[in-house]
Chains A and B, each alone.
Chain A
Amino acid sequence: MSGFFASGPVHTAVVAGAVVAVVSGVVGVFTVIRGQSFSGHALGDLGTLGGSGAFLAGVNPFFGYVTVGAAVAATMDLFGVQHRRGRDVATGIVLGAALGLAALLLYFDTTTSTTTGATITILFGSLFAVSPGTLPVMIGLGVVGLVLVAVLYRPLLLSSVSAELAAARGVRVRTVGLVFLVLVGVVVSLSAVAVGTILSTALLVGPAAAALRLTRRPLTAVVVASVLGLVATWGGVVLSYASATWPPSHTGWPVSFFVVTLVLALYLGAELVGWARARAGA
């Protein structure tokens, strides 16, 4: 472990991991309550398109994730609500087409420009590969997201639990839904930097679902989800650092693997606690 706290890549990973864990935890709780986990996953996958396009344009893939994430979220919301029944199909078709386009862009990346490892970077990410220049932007977007949730807290919670009740109380359910989905798009972009576009929903949904298994109070769940997310990302950083001497390659296991595995372990732990409580109560 010598040199762990003095290492530049570790500093960046710890800060980026914290930003992603806290924002994902907060937004994730509402995503799970609203039953929009699949939308979140679709938005994460679509980040692949943004990331591969950004590589081709020679800009940091994070900006591709955010742009595509926010734009597609707005589009999905505008079209999705009117055709409720066809929403799954429409999402599936758009997702397939966008990933096909991403495959083309990735092919161009590897055949026309010097983008070694673009595919692995985009799909599976790495907290250790976050460029220090991206960090301030990530922190800024994270703060904006948290402020937005704080401002919208009551109407968001009400419309998440019961849209009809919220509408009756004068909440503009449509607008809140649109803002929230765009927020989800931004959050999965942040977590795509940490664990890649394919795995980004793990951080959005996993800690939040575990927290909601432990407590029914939304505000407590938000705090618990953030803490669980921190355990997963920081734990992943420590384990990945420690794995440098492990077989077979002796160059360390990917940090994304540890983060996602810890998320699963935490969720299973929460399930176990919930099950034990239910038995004790019965």
Chain B
Amino acid sequence: MNWIIAIIQTLLFVALAPLLAGWLKWCKCRLQNRRAPSLFQPYKDLIKLSSKQPVVAEHASWIFTRSPYIIFSAMVLAASVVPFIAVDLPTSASADVIVLVGLFGFARFFLALAGLDIGTAFGGMGSSREMTVSSLAEPAMLMAVFTLSMAASTTNLSVAITHVLEQDLVLRPSFVFALLALILVAVAETGRIPIDNPTTHLELTMIHEAMILEYSGRHLALIELASQLKLMLYGVLIANIFFPWGIAESFTPEALGYGLLAILGKLALLAIILGISETVVAKMRLFRVQEYLSFAYLLGLLGMLSHIILEASR
């Protein structure tokens, strides 16, 4: 029974990821005084892409053609281990947060390889930039995650969330720092403004998009869906770790329904905040990204220090 719920939760996660992207786009359009496309536009785009024949470069190797499947699978796997509607599901016991970071790294490795594989200048440029950004983002993310792990004495997400739920609402400085660090990392890792601009057509400024310029058809659909999953994963992580209230702790239909509504509300709110921030800031110069991510790392470190100094003895 629990396994069925876990599978349904994962399917729901994948099914809802384009909706989050559509909602974010809708918010941004409204903030920019534009008429927004339908909330379901991302679904329509994915269907359109998947019905088209992919065009593959003459010199592409198996890496290029298999990478979309590998990346997508890694993201679905990641989605299955993150508590979305309920905690204590069997899938979340099988992997912890370090595995999650590992899955992100695995997907990114293949994405960067695929960017290099076809041998265009843009692909190589994008891969180089992606690796630069991620090599700075990963330590910052781990630092934030470790703060959480130390507080809950576990690296398992489900257990950590239960731990947060068991305590009453207390303002912990370590969590505030970790939250800020994770938000900065999430923006960088999901290729949002001010690090990357997902809607640009300017090849020379791209990071994520530069790597996937040569993709088309169902390959592109898988990669797009994987990016939408990644955005949702970070959103769910932020929402459920730091604001877990509402998540289902038992598997009754009411609790699960309430859990679904709660996470949808939290994600919707997060998307509005992201939309506002993307409207009021311009993209950074590329060489400022290291300062930005060093700051994220610093926040993570401060979170850990404040945990050790202020909270650990209790």
A binds B: no
Residues of chain A at the chain B interface (Cβ within 8 Å): none
